[in-house]
Structure 1
Amino acid sequence: MGLMTFLRNRAGYILIGAIGFAIVAFLVGDAINVGKPFWAASQKVVGSVDGEEINIDEFGAKVDQSLAQFKQQYGGSGNAQMQAMAVDNVWQGEVAKVLLGKEYNRLGITVSSDELADLIKGDNPSPLIVQYFGNPQTGQVDRAQVIRTFKEGYKDPNMAKQLQAVEAEIERQALQQKYVKLISNAVYVTSLEANDEYVNRNKLANFKFVGLEYASIPDASVKIAESDYSDYYNDNKQRFENPTETRAFEYVSFSVSPTKEDSAAVKTQVEKLAADFRTAANDSLFAAVNSDVKVPYTYITKGKLDPAVDSVVFNLPAGSFYGPKFSGNSYKLVKVIDTRFSPDSVKASHILLDASKLGGVDKAVKLADSLKGLIQKGASFATLAAQYSEDGSKDKGGDLGTFVRGQMVPEFENAAFNGNVGDLKIVTSQFGVHLIKIEKQIGSSKVAKLAYIEKSLMASNKTKDAAYKKASNFLSEVKGGSFSELAQKKGYTVGVADKVTPTQGFAPGLDNPRQLIRDAYDAKKGDVLDQVYQMDNSFVVARVTDIRPKGTLPLDAVKKDIEPIVRNIVKAKMLKEKVDKALQGTANIDQVAQKLAKPVTPVQNIVFANPIIPGGGQENKVVGSVFGSQPGKLSKAIDGERGVYAFSVDGFTNPAPLANTYKQKEMMMQATAQRSLGAAFQALQDKSDIKDNRVKFY
């Protein structure tokens, strides 16, 4: 498809193209989660990067565009998670734009006008130009078409804005590529490092071990001292760096599920609807008005409907009625209007006429009819398409390629699939008047034209009101007492959402939690949020249980999290005493095993780079010790991830000498360069003053 058509159909999306550009996505990743003084933010400022404020009006427009792209890519009308993804994508793009822009200026990285022109019209065009103008089969770009498109486009003020946006995106991508190249060129791997990496991945170790698992000691019998907690905390303080402020909350969910009475009422309603549907004068209108799910009133192929319905409907003759059929939490009613055999796909060309430019639909149809006459007399369809068509396909003689049902608007589809090869058809659609030439029809399958109604089984207003009343009563009572105790007393299940970030679009057990999360960030620890939250199928009451600020968390904040680890450390001390005692006076691993009353486990062909012990999981410390040991020598007691071990190495198998050091270095440099890019961008963030107030707006 040509750039003009792309811009016409997806105007505005290119404005946030940098967000989707792989380099920025890699650099930024999911790591941009920074703190914010919410109280200090302006009503219009969604955040700032080194003092450069991000205005909510511009930011919101980009979020809308990003969300539209996600909807187009993934389908559906959007949900809380998709909205959160869109917000995060735009935020990442804004942070990257400011921080990388400063780096470009500091380093003197620029794209000259000649470079930009070459990226658009030259022999080595930008990936964007290749994407929009490249031949799908060969990837070759029609430079003449590119030049013509940009030259003609700037004559139209609206199109000029779109082209300027494309040029800006091409320039951004070029700057990013230069920056990436600069970072990559700073990476170097020595021959010694290459050989070490090769050996670590190919040297094999065979050993035997005996172990005492931490699980052999009951947790209840282990006493953890405060010094155990503080020792571990002080030795691992870097692990407790919180990149962004988080909240935790507990909640009770009051389900809104259809009752037996609701089910009976819906069934009665559907049965009456079925009777009316059977005798309806206008099937398509009746279905459109009464169905919860809209199925186009056109021919569809087998496999498009619910399997329980699809398998039956396509075996019924025209005029049949099927249903009510309950499947997948909804009732289905189907009228088979017509069935026929139709091509699986069609290859066609068209000339698209813009009725608004020709003085109305009638005049556009008249022109289409004249063009049809010329073609029937021998005129070239491709030549006329290039001269008259308003679609980007005109540069390809109107060729639309091959398409299946569902890819074109109904009017166009019906003409292409219901006609014959060689036919010239004139149809009017929402895009204008089309003169269609059917080039080829491929395959043949049964299709059906259906009037389709689907009614979902939903809870009644009475059921919803009852659930809301229970939630409201609980909210009133819990403000004067303990949340968990009251919930337990009433037989309610308490859910927990831990370490929830400000912009998170999900929470365990909750399908639409954004407003709850926003309010949690405006509350204090221990507060019961003062409203009942409506989810898709429930009402929720919640209480904030923890607030973790950005920065190094204190011991009290992480004590519960590290308790299992610290307990194992205490167990390790107890078990090491047993293993050390068993090691005293023994000559081999079998004697150690005999003293411990544990079996000896042989392990074959372990490599340093993959420290997995079969049946024992990942044991970095144990495997590392193995590769640092001498064959035949008993090890000391090693405290691992799952227990305390002793081992004896049988021997090592060294790999053949590295044949191609250069290739090994190249591979390592690529991997190191990628890590360096992430590290470089993280360093830019660490040195920057980033304030994130998104939670106030989304």
Structure 2
Amino acid sequence: MGIMSFLRERMGKILAGVIGLALFAFIVGEVVQSGGAFFRGDVNNIGQVNGENIPYVKFSERLEQSTQQFKQQSGQSLTPQITNYIQETTWNQFLTELLLNKEINKLGLIVGPDERQAMISGNNPDPQIQRQFVGADGQYDKTKRDQFLNYLQSPKVDPTQLKAWADFVIQLEEAKKQQKYMALVTNGLYVNSLDAQDDYIAKNKLANFKYTVLNYASIPDANVKLTDADYSTYYNEHKSEFKNPQELRSFEYVSFNAAPSTADTAAVKAQVDKLVTDFKATNNDSLFVQINSETKAQLAYMKKGQLEPRLDSVMFSADKGFIYGPYLSNGSFKVAKLVDAKIGPDSVKARHILLNPTTEGGVDRAVAKADSLKKLIAAGRPFAELAKNFSVDKVANEKGGDLGTYGRNTMDPVFEAATFDAKVGDIKVVTTQFGVHIVQILDQKGSSKVVKVAVVDKPLLPSTKTTAAVYAKAQAFLSSLTPENFDAQAKKAGLTIKNAEDVNATAASALGLDNAREVVKWAFKSEKGTFSDQVFSVGDQYVVARVSAIKPKGVLPLDVVKKQIEPMVRIQVKGKQLTDKLQAALNGASGIDQVAQKAGSTVVPLQNIVFANPVIPGATAEYKVIGTVFGSQPNKLSKPVAGQQGVYVFTLDSFTNPAQLTNNVREKQQIGQALAQRSQGQVLDALKDKANVKDNRAKFL
């Protein structure tokens, strides 16, 4: 009975414990399968800096902002390389902010209320504020700023705008704190009189000397046998140079070309050939292009030099309806038709009022309103006044709706056609993808022949039959592989093995592969010597790869860098041999001429060499040699000095000292400016080197 009572009393706790253990076991199992991401939080964080997480969501938001900003500013399409650049830049922004903020918080740097107010609405506001509020003359407009600040205080303020402004102010404050931190660093730099004196002497003191040299190239590489001791000696002397800031991997690969075959080329050309007759006969060239062309470009008038070269050379002297092609251009078969030719202006100056159909209740209502505004303008109402009151183009409104002067192919095609075909003074209502415009032509300049050319293109792509056959070859090669026979099978198949060396985990491309992201991701999940478990499709290539080297983060061991340092080790061994040869020539020699004669070399005189520019004319920069020269006494034979090109012996003839430095202010300023310019980058490098940075980007990107 006592046991039963105990169990009844404790049953709830026992059941809770059993369930808890079961849940724990389940979680542990999931963690093991997912590599421990549950406890580490890596599943949601793209990185970590000194224990502070960088959430993937936050990184992704800023990456999207940076990407959109790049598109707007450059107008370029995104390539894998550009995408990788934007990702790297965004990552470095996060690192910089987290590293600097930690130091800023340590120092207690803040932006107080008065300072914040001065940055926004003071007499000399922050440059970012000045760029936000620009008048019609392109200069900072205080009135516009004040109007906006008053709007933020009004009940009608848009919550979205209010939030965006709050975020903007936070960014201003963060940037200001970073400026303060950097100011502390740069203001702490000090250049003393001795620094100025040394810099002056280095730039102005002249050395006159003679030298003889035995070049490393004088010993054939085949005559130098490198030992393990040679490698170890060089490695230990240069160990600090082999610090790897991030893990790198190398992979070898073979590729199977899946470019279009001769049959594919003939088939695509035949498709275009069949279109020529119908293209010539059609009365609706624009519709024909939309239906039959891969590129759905709207037809527009072009002036000389705006067409691709082969069309530019024939269309301006051809008759309307002329057909050119088919021809192969930029990976597509094309056929072109001259739709029209005429004389027209080179540029137009116009102004407009833009109505948004969505807020006006539809396109029809927007057009009706535009017609009403057009009548008001014709009746004498100021265009600028109506633009200010009705147009949604706030940028143009600052100039009374003025769009400035623009050339052909710079505006929306429909808008452009309407304004180039009109006469000066005309007022037109035009509907484009941006809305409904009331546009007035202010001026037209120039006069030249323009042509409207319709182009139908069909991309030259490999057929399914071609890609299937090439893929089958790649798959057969993959099936034949074992861990030991990659090289042999490649040689048997007549394939060239290419080596993509030192690829980082976020790389988008590699040697010969423009879009190698999937291959890189695989390589960073695989062990050295492992070949891929699939055939990768990269552009018009099918790729099979093998991981050839792994360079972990940190100081790389000798076996990893052995191949890399082999040329330097060979030079060091040659240097020892040449040093011994010159040392023997020095024994009993009374001058540089005797040394050269005994060593089988020649003597070269040099005049007016400065320490700050340690270049031997006709050779290369020889820092060690020139440094040794400036530390020598005249008329004494030097010991052998191993330089960049070979081993040197020299004798200093004389120094020519500059005039005494009486005013070192300019030298101090120059050195100080150089230090200040380098300081920001060096501070960030030092903080990054000291920080504990965990980079998980390869798992997400």
Is the pair's TM-score, using the shorter chain for normalization, greater than 0.5? Answer: yes
Q: In 2, are the aligned partners of 1:266 and 1:457 still within 8 Å (CA)?
A: yes
Tell me, in whole angstroms, the C-alpha distance in 2 between the residues paired with 1:135 and 1:603.
62
Aligned to 2:379: 377
Tell me, in whole angstroms, the C-alpha distance in 1 between the residues paired with 2:665 and 2:678.
20
Tell me, in whole angstroms, the C-alpha distance in 2 between the residues paired with 1:294 and 1:602.
71
Aligned to 1:174: 176
**Paired residue for 2:272, among 270, 273, 277?**
270
Tell me, in whole angstroms, the C-alpha distance in 2 between the residues paired with 1:206 and 1:447.
69
Worse overlay, 533-542 or 592-601: 592-601
Counterpart of 2:228 in structure 1: which amino acid? Answer: E
Q: Structure 1 pair 304/112, CA: closer, same or farther in 2 (3 Å)? A: farther
Q: Structure 1 pair 245/124, CA: closer, same or farther in 2 (3 Å)? A: same
Aligned to 1:506: 509
Aligned to 2:696: 693
Q: Structure 1 pair 169/437, CA: closer, same or farther in 2 (3 Å)? A: farther
Q: TM-score, normalised on structure 1?
A: 0.89
Tell me, in whole angstroms, the C-alpha distance in 2 between the residues paired with 1:332 and 1:637.
69
Q: In 2, are the aligned partners of 1:84 and 1:504 still within 8 Å (CA)?
A: yes
Tell me, in whole angstroms, the C-alpha distance in 2 between the residues paired with 1:111 and 1:273.
69
Tell me, in whole angstroms, the C-alpha distance in 1 between the residues paired with 2:181 and 2:597.
62
Aligned to 2:568: 565
Aligned to 2:685: 682
Report matched runs for 1:337-486 at 5 Å: 337-392=339-394, 393-479=396-482, 481-486=484-489
Counterpart of 2:103 in structure 1: which amino acid? Answer: E
> 1:343 deviation in Å?
3.0
Q: Give structure 1 regions of 4+ aligned residues with deviation exceeding 6 angstroms.
A: 36-39
Counterpart of 2:356 in structure 1: which amino acid? Answer: D
> 1:530 deviation in Å?
0.8
Q: Structure 1 pair 384/112, CA: closer, same or farther in 2 (3 Å)? A: farther
Q: Structure 1 pair 438/631, CA: closer, same or farther in 2 (3 Å)? A: farther
Counterpart of 1:146 in structure 2: which amino acid? Answer: R
Q: Structure 1 pair 228/166, CA: closer, same or farther in 2 (3 Å)? A: same
Tell me, in whole angstroms, the C-alpha distance in 1 between the residues paired with 2:277 and 2:450.
26
Counterpart of 2:263 in structure 1: which amino acid? Answer: E
Q: Structure 1 pair 382/609, CA: closer, same or farther in 2 (3 Å)? A: same
Q: In 1, are the aligned partners of 2:478 and 2:535 still within 8 Å (CA)?
A: yes
**Paired residue for 1:613, among 599, 605, 616?**
616
Q: Structure 1 pair 671/368, CA: closer, same or farther in 2 (3 Å)? A: same
Structure 1: unaligned runs, 5 residues or longer:
1-35
Aligned to 1:237: 239
Tell me, in whole angstroms, the C-alpha distance in 1 between the residues paired with 2:569 and 2:682.
31
**3-state SS of 1:314 partner:** helix
Q: In 2, are the aligned partners of 1:203 and 1:653 still within 8 Å (CA)?
A: yes
Deviations along 1:415-457, one digit per CA (max 9) or x if unpaired, are 3322223222221222222122222323333322221123333
Q: In 1, are the aligned partners of 2:280 and 2:321 still within 8 Å (CA)?
A: no
Q: In 1, are the aligned partners of 2:135 and 2:398 still within 8 Å (CA)?
A: no
> 1:295 deviation in Å?
3.6
**Paired residue for 1:628, among 628, 631, 639?**
631
**Paired residue for 2:582, among 573, 579, 582?**
579
Q: Structure 1 pair 340/176, CA: closer, same or farther in 2 (3 Å)? A: farther
Deviations along 1:125-161, one digit per CA (max 9) or x if unpaired, are 3333333433697x52111122223443671223333
Q: In 1, are the aligned partners of 2:530 and 2:546 still within 8 Å (CA)?
A: yes
> 1:668 deviation in Å?
1.8
Tell me, in whole angstroms, the C-alpha distance in 2 between the residues paired with 1:591 and 1:300.
77
Q: CA RMSD in A?
A: 2.5
Tell me, in whole angstroms, the C-alpha distance in 1 between the residues paired with 2:397 and 2:72.
25
Q: In 2, are the aligned partners of 1:38 and 1:693 still within 8 Å (CA)?
A: no
Q: In 2, are the aligned partners of 1:309 and 1:325 still within 8 Å (CA)?
A: no
Tell me, in whole angstroms, the C-alpha distance in 1 between the residues paired with 2:132 and 2:404.
15
Deviations along 1:239-269, one digit per CA (max 9) or x if unpaired, are 1111111111111111222222222222222
Query: Number of aligned pairs?
Result: 662
Q: Structure 1 pair 313/164, CA: closer, same or farther in 2 (3 Å)? A: farther
Counterpart of 1:560 in structure 2: which amino acid? Answer: K
Q: Structure 1 pair 590/102, CA: closer, same or farther in 2 (3 Å)? A: same
Aligned to 2:133: 133
Q: In 1, are the aligned partners of 2:136 and 2:398 still within 8 Å (CA)?
A: no
**3-state SS of 2:480 partner:** helix
Deviations along 1:99-131, one digit per CA (max 9) or x if unpaired, are 222222222222234433433333323333333
> 1:355 deviation in Å?
2.5
Q: Identity over aligned residues, as a percent?
A: 48
Q: Structure 1 pair 294/46, CA: closer, same or farther in 2 (3 Å)? A: same
**3-state SS of 1:564 partner:** helix
Q: In 2, are the aligned partners of 1:329 and 1:456 still within 8 Å (CA)?
A: yes
Q: In 1, are the aligned partners of 2:250 and 2:549 still within 8 Å (CA)?
A: yes
Tell me, in whole angstroms, the C-alpha distance in 1 between the residues paired with 2:663 and 2:357.
66
Tell me, in whole angstroms, the C-alpha distance in 1 between the residues paired with 2:673 and 2:161.
40
Residue 520 of structure 1 pairs with residue 526 of structure 2:
no
Residue 648 of structure 1 pairs with residue 647 of structure 2:
no
Residue 58 of structure 1 pairs with residue 58 of structure 2:
yes
Tell me, in whole angstroms, the C-alpha distance in 2 between the residues paired with 1:273 and 1:557.
60
